[in-house]
Structure 1
Amino acid sequence: MAGLLSNKVVCITGASRGIGRACAVESANQGATGLVLHYLGDKETETEAHELKTEIETRFPNARVAIVPGDIADPATATKTVEVGVGAFGRIDVLVSNAGICPFAEFLTMPLATWERTRSVNLDGSFLIVQAVANQMKNQIPQGGSIIGVSSISALVGGEMQCHYTPTKAGILSLMQSCAVALGKYNIRANAVLPGTIETDINKQDLSDAVKRENMIKRTALGRLGRPDDLAGPVVFLASDLAKYVTGASLLVDGGLFVNLQ
């Protein structure tokens, strides 16, 4: 049976681990034949990216994977990612702009460098890759595609140690809304997913506090923290033709955390 992403080419940033990795595997499972997987490029993510490529091409014989290293905050990385994707597969149908960091920090003593690096990776990096891929989607035949920005529940609420992080995630949500307006005439859809508390490397240290972890679980209506694969289904939906009339939308994927006031 054909999958929801049958014969599509999917580009994912920050794909070596966590949410990006889960989205890559599920995209292949749903029939994507080309995967352009970006990763940071240090020794650890290099190993992870090659392992992911091997896993996908072994489990899903119809899928081919091109991997691209680079700092997502560097404009050259966006250009290179598109070049590699088009060179390997001829087009890009889906972008999942996922790469991001969250170095937890106290606001009043936060070094400027922490603010600048978080902004440059999360927000600048999203802008750069979205712009580069959107230009490719505009010019390819048939024209168009689907762009999904990985924002966060933190775009809607605050966090004591996230005064640098939450503005970037709000910015990604806003970027997707405006891109939906700017790109609709090219048959390009732009939507955001807003994960709640998902257990990944980005929050491993924060969730090592047993009391905080238990409180987060109790606040979540479904009674558990999220897993990376909990995001993969909603991302695939937004990428697929099932969502062909969905653009400018934001989808909370938080297990009921946001709505729980008690």
Structure 2
Amino acid sequence: MNFKNNKRQNTVISFLNFNYISLQQIFDFRMKKILIYGLQRSGTNYLETLLKKKFKIKILNCKKERNNPLHKHFRLYNNKDLIPEKSFYNSLYFEDFNEFKKALNTIEKVDGFIIITKDPYSWLVSYNEWANKCNWTRGSFHYIEEYNYFYNKWMEFSREDNNVLFIRYIDLINSPNESINKIAKKINLKKKFIFINKKLIVKKVAQSSKFDQKRLTYYQRKKYLKKFNAIEIDEINKLLDEKLLDFLGYSKEYIN
């Protein structure tokens, strides 16, 4: 009797496990597959958090292999001498976006590539601080040169594929829901729903608690510019790619 009961229980458990896995596969199949890219200190983590809270998506980026094209900070540009840290070094070159997609080596179809940017000035302040914190060996190049190369490559790719989309960090912190809804509409992301008192309610994205008024003001009033003197600003402006800057929706800044 015990043997029969155990056998019956095992059969039921196996059936439930099979159906759970099957349901998971169905839901996973329906979820949009997304890749997020951006240089460090551009807001990739914040973007991922907002997207996961509101939409049924699967983020395909890998976490550990920093020289893997699936990594969110992967250096895809051709000038490898600009790679600031050895763990990101790679010898991969891409003539076009199709070559890049092949290098991803994923069996899952990618529905959208979301590229997040910060304006070059606030980004440079954060990037310098991050480089110092991580003890990066400082090369002979200016970090703005890497900014140009990284986002220029993605700009090129966006002209080859409509699923390569750009979003600005400042827009995310000013109006997170509106900003990600624009992205979602372009790649047809499905919203998450929750049931409360038998009513269907669409999840809202809450403003991150770390963006208190002081932090928001820092970006909105461009207080990061105080970190530079006139000579440094002039050097940055000479290096910045104006066509890229215009494409990303930024403009050169000046201080008195």
TM-score (norm 1): 0.36
Query: TM-score, normalised to structure 2's length?
Result: 0.37
Tell which structure's C-alpha radius of gyration is larger. 2
